[in-house]
Amino acid sequence: MKKDFWNDRVVVITGATSGIGKALYEELALFPCELVLVARRAAEIEEPKNKHEGVIIHRVACDLSDPTSVLDAVEWIQKEVSKIDILFNNAGITAHGRFDSLSMDVYRKTFATNFFGPIQLVRGLLPLLLAAKGNIVTTSTVSALYGVPGRAAYSASKSALHAALESLRIETMEEGLGVSLVCVPYTDTALRTSGLDASGGILSEAPAKGKRKTAKEVAHVLMSVAKDKEARLVTFNLSGRFLEWMRFFSPKFLEKILYKKLYSDFKSH
- Compute the radius of gyration of the chain from its Cα atoms: 18
Three-state secondary structure of 78-97 = HHHCCCCCEEEECCCCCECE
Query: Strands, E, within the chain: which ranges?
Result: 10-14, 34-39, 56-61, 86-89, 135-141, 178-184, 233-235
Annotated catalytic residue 25: no
Q: What is residue 10's three-state secondary structure?
A: strand
Whole-angstrom distance, CA of residue 265 vs CA of residue 256: 15
| CA–CA gap between residue 152 and residue 94 (Å, rounded) | 10
Q: Which among 25, 107, 146, 154 is annotated as catalytic? A: 154
Please answer whether residues 136 and 119 qualify as being in contact, where contact means their C-beta atoms are separated by less than 8 angstroms.
Answer: no
Handedness of CA 133, 139, 141, 146 (dihedral sign): negative
Catalytic residues: 154
